[in-house]
A and B are shown apart, each in its own frame.
Chain A
């Protein structure tokens, strides 16, 4: 096997804003991310349920991942496992996803380089493929986009966003 340590830059710490040229990527520390699945989970949740292109208004909310799955953000501590009373499967995912806010006037333009996305095309789910990587993507402000990406793919996503950020505007 070949020693490739020099081919790959050391993994980043992600504790400071990252300049993407036309936008800025800022790491977001969240208190808790909880994955909840269940046949009626979307109706059962008592937090604001965010789809695309909804804008998050509170610190505590839930994002819709698919028809039977949500992720509670900064929600209450919950016992992991099968909740028979509510028919819900619950897993703590607080360390599973790296979270970033993408800001800047070109933020949407940058996202369009990695995903077929439009504010005019709503979706109940925030799950997207961005530059070939699975992410949760939604808005926390008019032009502020929040991204959750699997922790192991965070370096790749940041690298791809940096590369795309070097491209000029498309309009």
Chain B
């Protein structure tokens, strides 16, 4: 044996030496090592510091239940925080740092905090930082709390792959039981996936000499070969972290360090859990000392990595399963002393690391103390799926009870710790039979924490929860497991209590004088292991996170030097040209009033409602009456929610008796379509109404301004464009260059406007023709920003901007249908309730400022003139109007309609302004230009 590496054994490749550093010191390991095994092999005992007391901590286990060995790892400039050393495979050149320690884990300046442990009990910060104000201390406490820190560097290509797959049988865990179950199922003709979180299958089989008369590796190879020959699939390095509805299991597949893991969404007809069991720590004085380790964790470190945890080992166990481990450790050259002790008689000795063990005052020298207080089956996935647990007195643990649908637990996960019995269970489960649990072949002596005993005894290593914290929680009546968990933070660390929950429950049971099952367990929720958020969003990252919708005319806008901005999920021109943004926008708004503006309005909804009941349906979903709308005419209207709040506004065009086209807000097309479809299918006859969202079929170009008619005439559509022949709120259908066009005379600017809709592929021709016609007349393209000025001048609302979630139509000045409409419509009832009739409802008004004053800030609050000032509303839209030569603004103000002419105070970021409440329309209130 060299150092703590056995001369033989393990799955490591001893021909491939890997160099790495830990806390600045260089070390070496082998390919196939984990960080933890490499550090232990090099004799490193202190691998981190504890969360609260900064106590030195060593490696406890060999896999996902490790609470202590958490590290920040850098490789090739890529740093990941909080890597579990027992599951992070060693790679050449890794720079590893302990977390929560400075300058190193071996010597941590904050280690002195442990002296003050009496004052740092559970919930200490609630009790000791009250005066003068908790918030004074909070920043410092938050800074000290937590393990590790996230690097601000971005890993550019860290994008998780995601894949959906399905199978007949998913077997979780490729130990002995899992391998046999998967093979049996595959050979029975099922589509089988066998998933295991290790990079090599076999589970704990490497700890034994023979399996069914064969060497473990040979036996494992045989099972894998047979599985794959039968069409089964083996997924290694893949952890099943959660079970969700309808047989969906989430798996995370890890690759090389700092490469994003792959998420598997696996839909399974049946799940076989062969997840094994975890070793439980013993609770005794100073049981957190580096050198105190899990018995089976140490056996696994030896079996997989050829690492011997110590040269002089003490061992305490409450069962007889330790014998094989003793034999293996002794074969590897270690001296093993098996002790028998109660928790009250036991104490770990040593200053920083373990140097010995005291049992009833008798001192034994040891550099490693291997303990096992029993085995806890890994039932997390079982509980995710809704499975129940039942207490087994014989095994002193919770076992799978009433099963969830299509799930079976086998082997150690089912409490079957005997290999032969586990294989029988696996064969039964693999062939679809229910596996009956046999009587335990192993006896477990109760070995639980002993409250009121001496010494500091750790229950939750990762969150520094001690037995005294549990006792304190009980004294303060936090006896429910859910309260205990939250008060002490027991089981709330990244390991989710894998090693601590059972000890905590048992301690509380003893304190209360009840059985452990009476205390119960907390809920198991996904994920079983920490999963990077990256895995959940996968390819939906950066520009793919929430991709914008693209206009068919985008190439034309780019060619015209448009500033493209996101408006309601669409990438649309905000303004055109280079230079000072606000000045350009002012020029565009002025041009539209003086001559004409050409606007790409393609995102406006074009939802067709057809069928014999279309009229009744549209009349029902709209606040305004639509039943009397004649073909060829258009009406402005609101859609309401059932609560009577404005959901959307838009115009309805009636094409003929059985067809309407709903033009809703650009950003609401999807929700309006769903709203319509929902009402169509619920409360109406869906065989007589059909909703087609044709927004993508049609592009729309708006021509607005006093020269609009002249420009539109250039299309030679054969339509009489005269005001009396083609009045406001009507539409005409025509042909343009062999394509159908729909010309609607509607306006969102208050000027003469025509919205010309054409099939999308023909839009560039239409756009270019209209621009060419507008140019000699002084017109040109305008963006959304100029449009916003124009519509604010007129007091036209923008849904979502000039309202809040409680705005009703009468708040916006549209009270007529509420009083007069005599057919049912969505939201009707709510418009007549007490809330709808409150006098102080916020209503839409215009706001003016003193001559020469700048525009009001959007979002600024109007403040009451009372002794206790409060918000009475806010500014919703505000711009400098180039056409009026002064600012214009809209706002929602309490009882605003009755307060026209009243002066109010406006507050924004500690600045105070005054404004006068005015009518909403500031430009052409008689509508002469609109109807011209």
Within the complex, what minimum Cβ distance (angstroms) separates A48 from chain B? 22
A-B contact pairs, 27 of them (CB 8 A): A2-B565, A3-B565, A4-B564, A5-B558, A7-B543, A8-B548, A10-B558, A68-B686, A68-B687, A69-B690, A81-B656, A81-B658, A84-B658, A93-B692, A93-B694, A93-B697, A94-B761, A113-B162, A117-B164, A120-B166, A121-B166, A151-B760, A152-B549, A155-B550, A156-B547, A163-B539, A164-B539
Residue B475 lies at the interface, judged by CB distance under 8 Å to chain A: no
Give the CA-CA distance A117 to B163 in the complex, in Å.
10
- Considering only CB atoms, which chain B residue lies closest to A161 in the complex? B539
Which residues of chain A from 131 to 171 have any CB-CB distance to chain B below 8 Å in the complex?
131-132, 150-156, 159-160, 163-164, 166-168, 170-171
Chain A residues, CB < 8 A from B611: 82, 89
Give the CA-CA distance A4 to B538 in the complex, in Å.
24
Residue B97 lies at the interface, judged by CB distance under 8 Å to chain A: no
Give the CA-CA distance A159 to B544 in the complex, in Å.
7
Within the complex, what minimum Cβ distance (angstroms) separates B554 from chain A? 5
Which residues of chain B from 532 to 556 have any CB-CB distance to chain A below 8 Å in the complex?
538-540, 543-544, 547-552, 554-555
**Across the interface, do A89 and B690 meet the contact criterion of CB distance under 8 Å?**
yes
**Across the interface, do A95 and B563 meet the contact criterion of CB distance under 8 Å?**
no
Residue A38 lies at the interface, judged by CB distance under 8 Å to chain B: yes
Chain B residues, CB < 8 A from A112: 163-165
Known pairs A11-B554, A155-B547; A81 contacts B659 (CB<8 A): yes
Residue A92 lies at the interface, judged by CB distance under 8 Å to chain B: yes
Known pairs A1-B785, A150-B696; A159 contacts B658 (CB<8 A): no
Chain B residues, CB < 8 A from A68: 686-687, 690
**Across the interface, do A5 and B562 meet the contact criterion of CB distance under 8 Å?**
yes
Residue B233 lies at the interface, judged by CB distance under 8 Å to chain A: yes
Residue B608 lies at the interface, judged by CB distance under 8 Å to chain A: yes
Q: Hey, what's the 0/1 contact readout for A33-54 against B, CB within 8 Å counting as 1?
A: 0010111000000000000000
Chain A residues, CB < 8 A from B389: none
Give the CA-CA distance A38 to B562 in the complex, in Å.
43
Residue A115 lies at the interface, judged by CB distance under 8 Å to chain B: yes
**Across the interface, do B696 and A96 meet the contact criterion of CB distance under 8 Å?**
yes
**Across the interface, do B166 and A4 meet the contact criterion of CB distance under 8 Å?**
no
**Across the interface, do B565 and A82 meet the contact criterion of CB distance under 8 Å?**
no
Give the CA-CA distance A118 to B167 in the complex, in Å.
10
Within the complex, what minimum Cβ distance (angstroms) separates A163 from chain B? 4
Residue B759 lies at the interface, judged by CB distance under 8 Å to chain A: yes
Within the complex, what minimum Cβ distance (angstroms) separates B731 from chain A? 15
Chain A residues, CB < 8 A from B539: 113-114, 131, 160, 163-164
Residue B105 lies at the interface, judged by CB distance under 8 Å to chain A: no
Within the complex, what minimum Cβ distance (angstroms) separates A3 from chain B? 4
Within the complex, what minimum Cβ distance (angstroms) separates A111 from chain B? 9
Q: Hey, what's the 0/1 contact readout for B561-584 against A, CB within 8 Å counting as 1?
A: 011111100110010000001000
**Across the interface, do B564 and A92 meet the contact criterion of CB distance under 8 Å?**
no
Give the CA-CA distance A113 to B558 in the complex, in Å.
33
- Considering only CB atoms, which chain B residue lies closest to A91 in the complex? B692
Give the CA-CA distance A167 to B571 in the complex, in Å.
28
Give the CA-CA distance A112 to B539 in the complex, in Å.
13
Within the complex, what minimum Cβ distance (angstroms) separates B105 from chain A? 37
**Across the interface, do A153 and B549 meet the contact criterion of CB distance under 8 Å?**
yes
Chain A residues, CB < 8 A from B695: 96
Further contacts, 5 of them, CB under 8 A, given A1-B574, A112-B164: A84-B612, A92-B697, A94-B759, A109-B163, A159-B544
**Across the interface, do A4 and B697 meet the contact criterion of CB distance under 8 Å?**
no
Give 6 closest A-B pairs by Cβ, nearest first. A156-B547, A3-B563, A89-B690, A152-B549, A167-B161, A89-B610
Task: Pick the contact of A5: B233, B563, B698, B760 (CB < 8 A).
Answer: B563
Residue B784 lies at the interface, judged by CB distance under 8 Å to chain A: yes
Most chain A CB neighbours (cut-off 10 Å) among B540, B611, B690, B759: B690
Task: Pick the contact of B555: A11, A84, A131, A156 (CB < 8 A).
Answer: A11
Give the CA-CA distance A117 to B164 in the complex, in Å.
7
Give the CA-CA distance A113 to B159 in the complex, in Å.
13
Chain B residues, CB < 8 A from A61: none
Known pairs A3-B565, A163-B159; A170 contacts B694 (CB<8 A): no
Size category of the binding interface on chain B: 35 or more
Which residues of chain A from 75 to 97 have any CB-CB distance to chain B below 8 Å in the complex?
81-82, 84, 87, 89, 91-97
Residue B262 lies at the interface, judged by CB distance under 8 Å to chain A: yes
Within the complex, what minimum Cβ distance (angstroms) separates B238 from chain A? 11
Residue B267 lies at the interface, judged by CB distance under 8 Å to chain A: yes
Chain A residues, CB < 8 A from B655: 81
Residue B470 lies at the interface, judged by CB distance under 8 Å to chain A: no
Known pairs A4-B565, A95-B760, A113-B161; A82 contacts B614 (CB<8 A): yes
Residue B52 lies at the interface, judged by CB distance under 8 Å to chain A: no
Chain B residues, CB < 8 A from A155: 547, 550
Binding site for A on B (CB under 8 A): 159, 161-166, 233, 262, 265, 267, 538-540, 543-544, 547-552, 554-555, 558, 562-567, 570-571, 574, 581, 603, 608, 610-612, 614, 655-656, 658-659, 686-687, 690, 692, 694-698, 759-761, 784-785
Chain B residues, CB < 8 A from A37: 610, 690, 692
Known pairs A82-B659, A113-B161, A152-B550; A1 contacts B784 (CB<8 A): yes
**Across the interface, do B659 and A156 meet the contact criterion of CB distance under 8 Å?**
no
Task: Pick the contact of B610: A3, A82, A96 (CB < 8 A).
Answer: A82
Chain A residues, CB < 8 A from B551: 11, 152
- Considering only CB atoms, which chain B residue lies closest to A120 in the complex? B166
Give the CA-CA distance A39 to B612 in the complex, in Å.
12
Give the CA-CA distance A69 to B540 in the complex, in Å.
30
**Across the interface, do A89 and B608 meet the contact criterion of CB distance under 8 Å?**
yes
Chain B residues, CB < 8 A from A69: 690
- Considering only CB atoms, which chain B residue lies closest to A166 in the complex? B159
- Considering only CB atoms, which chain B residue lies closest to A5 in the complex? B564
**Across the interface, do A95 and B550 meet the contact criterion of CB distance under 8 Å?**
no
**Across the interface, do A8 and B571 meet the contact criterion of CB distance under 8 Å?**
yes
Known pairs A1-B785, A92-B697, A95-B697; A170 contacts B565 (CB<8 A): no
Chain B residues, CB < 8 A from A97: 696
Chain A residues, CB < 8 A from B550: 11, 152-156
Within the complex, what minimum Cβ distance (angstroms) separates A7 from chain B? 7
Chain B residues, CB < 8 A from A84: 612, 658
Within the complex, what minimum Cβ distance (angstroms) separates A67 from chain B? 10
Within the complex, what minimum Cβ distance (angstroms) separates A137 from chain B? 13
**Across the interface, do A115 and B164 meet the contact criterion of CB distance under 8 Å?**
yes
Give the CA-CA distance A89 to B564 in the complex, in Å.
36
Known pairs A94-B759, A159-B543; A171 contacts B552 (CB<8 A): no
Task: Pick the contact of B164: A3, A39, A95, A113 (CB < 8 A).
Answer: A113
Q: Hey, what's the 0/1 contact readout for A12-27 against B, CB within 8 Å counting as 1?
A: 0000000000000000
**Across the interface, do A116 and B697 meet the contact criterion of CB distance under 8 Å?**
no
Most chain A CB neighbours (cut-off 10 Å) among B563, B603, B614: B563
Give the CA-CA distance A27 to B608 in the complex, in Å.
28
Give the CA-CA distance A120 to B159 in the complex, in Å.
29
- Considering only CB atoms, which chain B residue lies closest to A13 in the complex? B555
Give the CA-CA distance A108 to B161 in the complex, in Å.
15
Chain A residues, CB < 8 A from B164: 112-113, 115-117
Chain B residues, CB < 8 A from A117: 164
Chain B residues, CB < 8 A from A151: 552, 696, 760
Give the CA-CA distance A117 to B655 in the complex, in Å.
40
- Considering only CB atoms, which chain A residue lies closest to B164 in the complex? A116
Within the complex, what minimum Cβ distance (angstroms) separates A151 from chain B? 5
Chain A residues, CB < 8 A from B554: 10-11
Give the CA-CA distance A86 to B52 in the complex, in Å.
75
- Considering only CB atoms, which chain A residue lies closest to B267 in the complex? A116
**Across the interface, do B161 and A39 meet the contact criterion of CB distance under 8 Å?**
no
Known pairs A112-B163, A152-B551, A159-B543; A82 contacts B692 (CB<8 A): no
**Across the interface, do B549 and A95 meet the contact criterion of CB distance under 8 Å?**
no
Chain A residues, CB < 8 A from B761: 94-95
Within the complex, what minimum Cβ distance (angstroms) separates B601 from chain A? 14
Give the CA-CA distance A7 to B608 in the complex, in Å.
34
Within the complex, what minimum Cβ distance (angstroms) separates A135 from chain B? 13
**Across the interface, do B696 and A152 meet the contact criterion of CB distance under 8 Å?**
yes
**Across the interface, do A96 and B162 meet the contact criterion of CB distance under 8 Å?**
no
Chain A residues, CB < 8 A from B610: 37, 81-82, 89
